[in-house]
Structures are given as C-alpha cells and as structure tokens.
Structure 1
Amino acid sequence: MSGLENNLKQVRERIEKACLKAGRNPADIMLVAVSKTVDIDTIKKAYELGITHFGENRVQELKQKIPLLPQANWHMIGRLQTNKVKDIVGKVVLIHSLDRWNLAEEINKRARALHMNVSTLLQINIAGEEQKAGIAPDDVEYFLESVSQLDHIRITGFMTMAPLLDNPEEARPVFRELAQLRQKFRQKSYPNVELKYLSMGMSQDFEIAIEEGADIVRIGSAIFHGE
C-alpha cells in the first residue's frame, strides 16, 4: 500500500469513528482534499483512490490544475481577491471563502454574465482572530438579508477556520458556535440562502468538527504528507 493510500485509509477510518461517536452517517461528510502545493500526478492518484473533491487556496494553482483533471470537483477555499473572480466562476463547484460584500457583488456580476448561479459559503470569523478573514457573527443576519439583492449567488452554508491549537479539543467551542448560528438562521427564510453545509475542520481537528456538525472537512496534510 502506498503512503498516499495508507494516509487516505486512516483519514477515512477517523471520519467513520467520529461519525460513529456523534451518531452520524459517514456518507454525509464531504471530504475535500486540500491539494495546495501538491503536484498533479499525486492529485490524480488521490482521484483514482476515490477522492473526487479537491480544494485550492490560490486561484493561480486552480487555473493550472483544473484543465489537467476537469472531471474532479474543485473548490476555492482560500481568500479570493475580486480581480480573480473572473478566473474561477463557472469552474469551481463551491467558493468557501465569501467574506465581504464587494466580493459577493463581483461574484454575482460574473455569474450573471455567464447566465448561471454560483454556490458560496459565507466565511465567518467565529474566533475573532484579526489575521483571519471572515465576517463577524453579529453581521451574519444583515448579510443573509442583503443577499436577496444578488440574484446569481446562492449561499449554501457557512465556513470557519478554528485557531491552530495544540489541543484540538479547544477548537470545539468555535465549531459549536458555527453550528448554532446555522441552526438559528435555518429557522428563518431568506431568498438565495439554503444553509446545507458547515465547512469546518482540518487535518488537526476534523474529528471534533464532525462531532459538532461539520458536513465538509478540508484535509490536506493528513492525506498528502502523513501526520
């Protein structure tokens, strides 16, 4: 068994164990393999091993990799500059990092030009870290209300990044708060909003995220570099 195959097997087993603990179905968890800085041959091997979703942080890498594996589902998970929106709209299945209003307007404008709707996740800075992108929890309601003006954007869930902590258990309150926010806003109805997904949890803390309700986990190093 190759290193990659072994890593994947371990990650899937960890997902299953976390689901078992939380009384959830592992089939409901979308595994997005974070393939930044990973060469295309390795990505293709991961695809052959059953990984169908890949996440990239940089538009430049996405542009280079998508044509080499167009049958995969590509996700934009990093901070997105407005001038790069034109390069990915229509090419990725989901933008995880909608974190400001002018970006929403630009995505909507590009989507309208292509006569399509674009799925996005609203990035929320639960931990309040200054160096992290994302809107404040207090601004979520206003953002969801305002998105009704943008007819080519769909907000299909929330995304957050927990602080990098030595003990993954310490990230639990962050994940729990995001799940509570989704629960709160699911009880209301907003045009162009359907909160299906919580994208949270990475290599160091994805089990905790799953226990707290993550539907999408973004895992890079545990798959591609081992632990």
Structure 2
Amino acid sequence: MPFAQHYQNTLDELSRVCASCGRNPRDVKVIAVSKTVGIEAVRAAVAAGAHDFGENRPDLLAEKAAALPGETWHFIGNIQSRKIPEIVANATLVHSLYKESHLAKFDAAAQAVGKVQDVLLEVNVSGEESKSGLAPADVADVLAHAVEFSHIRVRGLMTMAPQGDLAVARECFNGLAALRDQLRTQLSAEQAAAFNELSMGMSEDWREAVCAGATMVRIGRALFSDTFEAPDA
C-alpha cells in the first residue's frame, strides 16, 4: 500500500478518534516521521498531502530540508551539543530538548541565524531508565530558566510512553497533559498562550494520545511501512 493510502487512512481514523473523545481533528497535527526513508519517499509523501516531517539525525534533517525547503521539519532525536547550530538552521520545532545546559547554546545558535527557535521540553513521564527526558518534578525549574532566553520559545512538552501496554500509555499521556496545564499557570499570559503543544503518541499509541489531548502525533512505521500492524486496544 503506498504512502498516500496509509496517510489517508490515518487521517480518516484521526477524525473518528477525535469524534469519540470530543475533539476537532484540525487541532491534531500528524507528523510523518521520515527518519528511515529517503528524499524520494518524502517527495511522494508531500504529493500525498503531508507537510510536517520528523527527523532524528541533524545531517539527514539538513539534507532533506535543503531538498524540500517548503516543508515543515521537526527534530525529534537526541541532541548533541556540537550539532545544535545545524539543528537550529533546519528545524522549525525541536521536540527533544531536556538538558538545561543546552538552553544557552540553542539561544546563541538561533540568534546567529536571526530566528526564535521553537522548542518542546522532553519529559520522561514513565520514569523508564531507557528513556531520556526531564523528570516531571524538574520541568518547572528548566522552564523558568528557558523563558529567560529571547531566542528560544518553549511551545510545550513531549514524551514517549512505554510500549506494549496501551493502558499504561494512556496514563503517561494524561500525566503529561496535566503537567502542561499546571505549568501554564506559572507563566505570563503571553508565555502561557504559546505553551500549548503536547507532542505524544506514535504509531502504536497515537489514538490514546489524541484522547489525552495530544496536539501532535509522531507517526512513522504506520505511514511508511507495509508491515506495521496496530496493537489491539
């Protein structure tokens, strides 16, 4: 099945899921995670109507963004300090910022290219040792530091749920949504208005994320692979 059919099926299912939990599908952005495919596959995805793409390597992000500069590019991978200028040069939104030491480096890189870099703070809601991200209790302090920088705009939070148990995933996503809402009360009106994004949910569990309030879902295998099968609810 080509990408176009996978993508349309996903949009149709998104509409059904949103209807089931009282949400507008227009409030949820589908990010096609293109990290495993080449530029021609991304071109086909663009032709099918996709315009938001997720990459986890700065070099491939740069290559694809140069080939398709009209699309919106999301950086979703691990951040290496020395790669921050390359990430800033090509990413519209960075989903995976969690090291406080990276804030000043993102600010300087963004200032150098004349932009304000939109970022999300990555949160390890589940507490799994294998996952990166801030502990929920530490997010407020990092956010308070981040909003001091004039070339960074914190747009919200990101998380990854444990795989294999959709009930646990739902709990994780609900926890991130509650944390986002709590943190907004500590921000100025202008900052709180911008701090509205929840990037959560992937191919296996995006439906649970949508009902928990996700504004972005990151879907790769379910769009680009013919062998992916969604788990039962």
CA distance in 2, matches of 1:195, 1:132: 23
1:23-67 CA-partner distances (Å, limit 9, x unpaired): 111111111000012011111111011100000011121121111
What's 1:178 paired with? Answer: 176
Partner amino acid, structure 2, of 1:39: G
How has the CA–CA distance of structure 1 residues 192 and 90 changed in structure 2, closer, same or farther, with 3 Å as cutoff?
A: farther
- Any conservation in 2 of the 1:53–1:74 contact (CA below 8 Å)? yes
What TM-score do the two structures reach when normalised by structure 2? 0.92
1:46 aligns with 2:20: no
CA distance in 2, matches of 1:58, 1:131: 19
Of all paired residues, the percent bearing the same amino acid is 37
Partner amino acid, structure 2, of 1:177: G
- Any conservation in 2 of the 1:90–1:118 contact (CA below 8 Å)? no
Note the C-alpha offset of 1:133.
1.0
Aligned length: 225
Note the C-alpha offset of 1:212.
0.3
Partner amino acid, structure 2, of 1:115: G
CA distance in 2, matches of 1:15, 1:80: 30
What TM-score do the two structures reach when normalised by structure 1? 0.95
Q: Structure 1 regions of 5+ residues with no counterpart?
A: none
Q: SS at 1:121's partner residue? A: strand
CA distance in 1, matches of 2:153, 2:125: 21
CA distance in 1, matches of 2:147, 2:155: 13
CA distance in 1, matches of 2:141, 2:3: 43
Please provide the CA RMSD for this pair: 1.4
Note the C-alpha offset of 1:192.
5.3
Listed as ranges, the matches of 1:66-77 within 5 Å are 66-77=65-76
Partner amino acid, structure 2, of 1:11: T
Partner amino acid, structure 2, of 1:108: D
